[in-house]
Amino acid sequence: MGLLGRVLLWGWALAVLAFLVLPLFVIVPLSFNAGGFLTFPMPGWSLRWYVELWHAEIWWRAFANSLYVGVLATLIATLLGTLAAIGLAFGDFPGRAALTGLLLSPMVVPLVIVAAGVYFFYLRLGLVNSLEGLALAHAALGAPFPLVTVSATLAGFDRNLIRAAQSLGAPPWTVLRRVLLPLVAPGVVSGALFAFVTSFDELVVALFLTGPGQRTLPRQMFDGIRENLSPTILAVATILVVLAVLLLGAAELLRRRGQRLRGLEP
Amino acid sequence: MAAGAAARDLAREVRITGRRRRLAAFALTLPLLAFLLVFFVLPILGMLRLAVSNTEMAEALPASTRAFRAWTGGGPPPPELVDRFARELVEARAARRLARFAKRLNYERTGYRTLILKTARRLARMEPPFDLATLAAIDRRWAEPAVWAAIRRAAQPWTDLYVLAVLDLARDAEGRIVPVPPERAVYLDILARTFRIALVVTLACLALGYPLAYALAHLPERHANLLMIGVLLPFWTSLLVRTAAWIVILQREGPLNELLRWLGLIDAPLELVFRRPAVYVAMTHVLLPFMVLPVYSVMRTIHPSYVRAALSLGATPWTAFRRVYLPLSLPGVTAGALLVFILALGYYITPALVGGASDQMISYFVAFYTLQTINWGMAAALGSLLLIATLALYLLFARLVGVERLRFG
């Protein structure tokens, strides 16, 4: 490729990266705005919106609800997803591809369909307007992620490791605990992170299944954005961007650890 | 002979062990399978059922429903059927069971709701038996065959009313399928709009994402991983945060308008938000990582020697790219484009927040009919259409790309 081509390519690539990242950082300074408008230039810097947020009980409640739903959904999704991943990795039973397709389908089915379906279903069970009901629906949406990440750590898994442990006299439980689990652990944790974020960020199902008493963080933000996009919401958004950075860092560390354990990278 | 028998025994044992292992492996997938069946598959199937469900009349007027199902003749219904129907209307009104049936009949033709409620109210003050003349005296529409045809349709166990409606079709008094009048034909428009938005977003993601993935794939992995953070960070950031960011950027006094004014490109601020372009921009921003990641991971596996070979054989760089590199990268493009298109089809939140009334996609109307107007038949019919489109594309994805490539991050 000529110099011109290289310059054009990199100019384009960097512009696209800026398009991806800059919008996230436009909102960060505005959340420290001393004024109440969401425009530049800002009259000055201040923490007033964070102070307001700190004292806003409605946001704390929403955060607590989201955390509760997220943790519950993550526990269910990770347990079920990990088991299924191990099963799919070790069993060449017939219909495995179709089963995998079915188990992964919550990733692609439009959220509004899941939301409407579960809403009608819960109306009959009396589970509408309960955080636990929401967590169960979120667990279904999150389960494919641990399934995928654990499968990835098991791809190219050397079954001789298990045979070696068995031949040295290890009972099945020890094989699981000392050989299999350490190898899949990074996949389990990163799958759990994905499942948690899926639930923590999920709005459509929450809109259908929760009432004013069970507002989650995304629901609270959605109402806020629709009514009046205030600096307080941008303060919440900034905190969520910081959270995203932390989660991304954790996921990346786990991915590298998983690769190292499998000997894919030095 | 003994050795042969031992070998056969061993083979049998190996077979049994293998079968037991496969069974154990399958058993491990059962908890997730059962969980998804209860909390994912069954609810969706239940929703599909609502699209053809027709129980309102059977719940309000059970005896008449049975009679109307048995009635096979054309023209006006026989007197005893009219009488039974009218008596049951009065009973259902007294038991407060009439509202859902009246609403259901209104879907057949606007105005039938008030017709039913008014007729029941007036009949309640009269003495049975009732005949067609009594009803026609209350409202002239009872003398027309159309209303009886509508009631007969409402009495059937299933209905194609909602499925036809989302295709801008309806049944006339003779039961033929006809297009609805143009002023009521809105759903094909919404379907076309949904597909158009998904297509535009997919093409935009491809145009933005392919060169970026190419540039990253030709860096040393260490540097590429660093820049990849730029792709992954939005991916981990809340959808609402990203949508809020675009509202801030695109608003009248927002940074983009300021920048354009500062550059002297515009005099007055542009109305950017709550317009179609805002939907395109925000959705492209949200879905771009789903394009970049699969394309990048396929490009990483393309060995540079292929392109080098083409160049050494005299191909121009453009030809080498077009004839060698592009075909090799196509599996990634297929995966990314299908994934973005599938996800875009079901979008709801982003268009709802940054789009105007004419930028809403199918999902919006599913939510609208479920939660606002409580017309579950329409919600389910629209949802079924969306589901069928999604599943067809998902099957295509499984066929062309393989579900094991369905991974994010």
Residue A19 lies in a domain: no
Number of domains in chain A: 1
Asked if A116 lies within 8 A of B379 by C-beta distance, the reply is: yes
pLDDT greater than 80 at residue B404: no
Percent of chain B scored above 70 by pLDDT?
Answer: 99
Contact B142, B127 (CB under 8 A): no
Given a contact cutoff of 8 angstroms between Cβ atoms, the answer to whether B299 and B217 are in contact is yes
* A155, part of any domain: yes
Please give the residue that has the higher pLDDT: either A23 or B402: A23
Give the pLDDT mean for A243-264: 80
Whole-number pLDDT of residue A1: 64
Chain B residues near residue A105 by CB distance under 8 angstroms: 40, 394
pLDDT on residue A262: 67
- Between B407 and A160, name the one with better pLDDT: A160
Hey, is the C-beta of A35 within 8 angstroms of any chain B C-beta? Answer: no
Q: How distant is the Cα of A41 from the closest Cα of chain B, in angstroms?
A: 9
* B46-79 pLDDT tens trace: 999 999 999 999 999 999 999 999 888 777 888 8
Strand B169-171 vs strand B177-179: parallel, antiparallel, or unpaired?
Answer: antiparallel
Nearest to B202 by CA among B347, B396, B299, B325: B347
The CA distances from residue B400 to B331, B335, B393, in Å, are: 8, 8, 10
A100 close to A92: Cβ distance less than 8 angstroms: no
Residue A96: inside a domain: no
Percent of chain B with pLDDT over 90: 61
Place of tokens 């739903």: A69
Question: Does residue A35 form part of some domain?
Answer: no
Tell me the per-residue pLDDT of B230-247, one tens digit each, with 9 for 90 and over: 898 888 888 999 999 999
Q: B32 CB near a chain A CB, below 8 Å?
A: yes
Q: Which residue of A has its CA nearest to B212?
A: A13
> For residue B145, is the peptide bond before it cis, meaning its omega torsion is within 30 degrees of 0?
no
B366 contacts chain A (CB < 8 A): yes
pLDDT tens digits, one per residue of B204-214 = 999 999 999 99
Which pair of tokens denotes residue B195? 């597909």
Q: Does A107 touch chain B (CB under 8 A)?
A: yes
Read off the pLDDT of residues A103-143 as tens digits, 9 standing for 90 and up: 999 999 999 999 999 999 999 888 889 999 999 999 999 99
Residue A116: list chain B partners with CB under 8 A.
Answer: 47, 366-367, 370, 379-380, 383
Q: For residue range A71-108, list pLDDT tens digits in order.
A: 999 999 999 999 999 888 887 778 888 899 999 999 99
3-state SS, chain B, equals CHHHHHHHHHHHHHHHHHHHHHHHHHHHHHHHHHHHHHHHHHHHHHHHHHCCECCHHHHHCHHHHHHHHHCCCCCCCCHHHHHHHHHHHHHHHHCCCCHHHHHHHHHHCCCHHHHHHHHHHHHHCCCCCCCHHHHHHHCHHHHCHHHHHHHHHHHCCECCHHHHHCCCEEECCCCCEEECCHHHCCHHHHHHHHHHHHHHHHHHHHHHHHHHHHHHHCCCHHHHHHHHHHHHHHHHCCHHHHHHHHHHHHCCCCHHHHHHHHCCCCCCCCCCCCCHHHHHHHHHHHHHHHHHHHHHHHHHCCCHHHHHHHHHCCCCHHHHHHHHHHHHHHHHHHHHHHHHHHHHHCCCHHHHHHCCHHHCCHHHHHHHHHHHCCCHHHHHHHHHHHHHHHHHHHHHHHHHCCHHHCCCC
Q: Is the minimum CB–CB distance between B177 and chain A shorter than 8 Å?
A: no
> Is A43 within the bounds of a domain?
no
Q: Tell me whether residue A14 is in a domain.
A: no
Query: Could you tell me the CATH number of the domain that includes residue A173?
Result: 1.10.3720.10
Partner A contacted by B322 (CB < 8 A): no
B248-307: pLDDT as tens digits = 888 888 888 888 888 888 888 888 888 899 999 999 999 999 999 999 999 998 998 999
Expressed as residue numbers, the domain containing A141 is 56-89+107-261
What is the pLDDT at residue A77? Answer: 97
Residue A230 lies in a domain: yes
Name the residue among A24, A30, A197 with its Cβ closest to that of B233. Answer: A24
pLDDT of residue B66: 93
Residue B386 to residue A110, Cβ atoms within 8 A: yes
Tens digit of each residue's pLDDT (9 = 90 or more) over A189-238? 989 999 999 999 999 999 999 988 889 999 999 998 888 888 888 888 89
Residue with tokens 């590298």: A256
CA distance A201 to B238: 6
* Structure tokens that stand for B334 in this block: 């297929």
| Cβ contacts of B366 on chain A, cutoff 8 Å | 112-113, 116
Which of B9, B27, B7 has its CA nearest to residue B19? B27
A111 closest CB neighbour out of B23, B232, B348: B348
Does residue B19 have a pLDDT over 90? Answer: no
The band of B409, judged by pLDDT with boundaries at 50, 70 and 90, is very low
